[in-house]
Amino acid sequence: MKKRVWTMLAIGLISLMTLGLLSACGAGGNGDDDATTETVETTDTEDVGTDDTQDETAGDDTVLHIAVFEGGYGRGFWYDLIDRFEAAHPGVTVEMQISPDIETIIAPQIAVGEFPDFMAIPEQHAGFMTAMIQNRELLDLTDFFDSEALGHPGTSIRDMIIPGMLDSTAYAPYGDGRVYLAPFNASPMGPVYNITLFEEMGWSVPTTWDEFFAMDALLDDADTFVDIGGNEERRAIFTYQGIHAGYLESILWPAIAGAGGMEAIHAIENYEEGAWDNPAVREIIEIFARMGTEGYLMDGTVALDHTQSQADMMLGRALFIPNGVWFVNEMADAPREDGFEFAIAPVPTVAAGQPRYVLSSFEQLSIPAEAANTELALEFLRFFYTDETIISFAEHADGSLAIVGSREVAEDYLSPSVLNMLRAYDEGTFMLMSFAPIPAGLPLHMPQEIFDARMTPLMTGQMTVDQYIQEMEDLNAEIREAIEAEGN
């Protein structure tokens, strides 16, 4: 009996070793497989490249691997960009991996040391991007931005980018002025309203919070009620995406910037002591609490998801909802009030005359420092910042790039709704908000703490303003401590 156990164990061990060897071979083979699947994925663009390239080895040297997060802007723009880049660079082949779930495709490849040459993956959509920034694994792009732009002799690429962007933590994460991420698009976010309704009612968009709250009284008038399925309903002044409280960022940050200036925002971005326990910030937090506890929110808001709340707002149940330009496409099929037309307002201010800000959504482009073909990736990035790309992005994705004058260049290609929303920049000052990196592995993410974990409790009175501010200060203290510990 005992003997048999030993025999079985021995057989087991031997087969395990064989399996280990097999799997090692498998892993080696896998690398090759990857290349083939990628080729298949982009056959349409691939063919052009291979036809031009007679020599196989030359083709190998000039393959650019790019990884793209597929968001609301779709794929058409990227296919067009690749076609144009390949046409302008004979012999070069671009192989693209594009998916809404790009993190699950790319992270395992990076884990075994296979870096894409170029990434269009925004930090907020992929934890591994946060990790790469924390670990300083991206290529320094500072010199690139100081080099000359294509088609604009004598102009640096830096000069093309919307002023202030490259100084933001979103692109220069380490606070030393060096740029590691490149701007992709830029579009306004903020309180979206139905401009037709405002015109019909003769309302003007509130510029101060007092005006905002005063507007609520107007809604008691039965003439302003909305007819939904034969029911006359009183409109509410505000709603948000309920269980996805993160959307409130497009109100919170511009409101804080308006009350406390961009210094207040920078203090929060950098976890400074007193960043939250600041009279200007407190005023804004009080406004948020008031909005919820004093009945300005649409009924049931806190229990709705983004689709439900957005649909309600478009039906006329609420005047404002925080959102961005993707709203237009996202809800393209949703029923809406007659004549509904999107517009974004700059966020109201506490006192009249304070500057009004518009938070911009942003996505990032980057090049891994360990990428095989950084030279070609930089060439691709240079190619990205051209007027042709601005037009292509408007044409294929109805979006606006983070380049000065994008809107004017692409005016004929953008839809009226998007153009309307982009006008928010005419009335308010462009701003970005992005937290400075924290030590790798520290299980904290400030937007999650600020919005998801606490904003609804604050607005429903479960949490007081003092509690909210104190907890933010405590979290900041913890992050500061971790940063100091890492520095030592």
Partner 1 sequence: MRLKRKSKVNAMPKGFVALCVLPALALVLVFLIYPTATAVVMSFTNAASLAAGGVDFIFLDNYIRMFTNDPHFIVALRNTLQILAVVPAVTIFMALVFAFGLTQSKLKEKSVYRVLFFLPSILSLVVVAVVFSALFHPRSTGPINMLIGWFGIDAIPWLGDPTFAIWALTIVMVWQAVGYYMVLLIAAIDGISKEIYEAADIDGASAIAKFFRITAPLLMDQIGITYVLALSGTMSISFILGRVMTNFGPGTATLVLPGHMYNMAFGPAASFGYAMAIMVFTLGMALVFAFVSRKLTVRKERL
- The reply on whether position 27 binds partner 1 by CB under 8 A is no
Q: Which is nearer to partner 1, 190 or 437 (CB)?
A: 437
Count of C-beta atoms within a 10 Å radius of residue 438: 21
Is residue 289 near partner 1 by the rule CB under 8 A? no
Binding mask 412-451 for partner 1 (x = CB under 8 A): ---------------------------xxxxxxx-xx---
**Neighbouring C-alpha atoms within 13 Å toward the C-beta of 141:** 29
Nearest distance in Å: CB 329, partner 1: 21
Question: Cβ closer to partner 1: 98 or 133?
Answer: 133
- Give the closest residue to 98 by CA, choosing from 44, 145, 49: 44
Residues 6 or more apart whose Cβ sits within 8 Å of residue 358: 188, 189, 190, 254, 344, 346, 347, 424, 425, 427, 428, 429, 430, 431
11 belongs to the binding site for partner 1 (CB under 8 A): yes
Note whether 293 binds partner 1 by CB under 8 A. Answer: no
Distance from the first to the final alpha carbon of the chain: 60
Chain residues 106-145 in contact with partner 1, contact rule CB under 8 A: 106-111, 123-124, 126-128, 130-132, 134-135, 137
The distance of closest approach from Cβ of residue 311 to partner 1 in the complex, given in angstroms and rounded to an integer, is 12
Report how many residues bind partner 1 under the rule CB under 8 A.
Answer: 57
| d(C-alpha 401, C-alpha 408), whole Å | 11
Which two tokens mark 468? 């909210």
25 binds partner 1 (CB under 8 A): no
Tell me if 472 contacts partner 1 by CB under 8 A.
no
Task: Give the residue among 193, 214, 246 at the shortest CA–CA distance from 424.
Answer: 193
Q: How far apart are CA 137 and CA 388, in angstroms?
A: 30
CA distance 171 to 270: 14
Looking at beta carbons only, is 122 or 183 nearer to partner 1? 122
Binding mask 294-333 for partner 1 (x = CB under 8 A): -----xxxxxxx--x-------------------------
Tokens, residue 129: 């991007």
Least spacing, CB of residue 10 vs partner 1, in Å = 10
Residue of 44, 72, 48 whose CA lies nearest to 59? 48
H-only helix segments in 385-464: 387-397, 406-410, 416-422, 424-427, 446-447, 455-459
Residues contributing to the site for partner 1 (CB under 8 A): 4, 7-8, 11-12, 15-16, 19, 23, 103, 106-111, 123-124, 126-128, 130-132, 134-135, 137, 242-245, 299-305, 308, 439-445, 447-448, 452-454, 456-457, 460, 462-463, 478
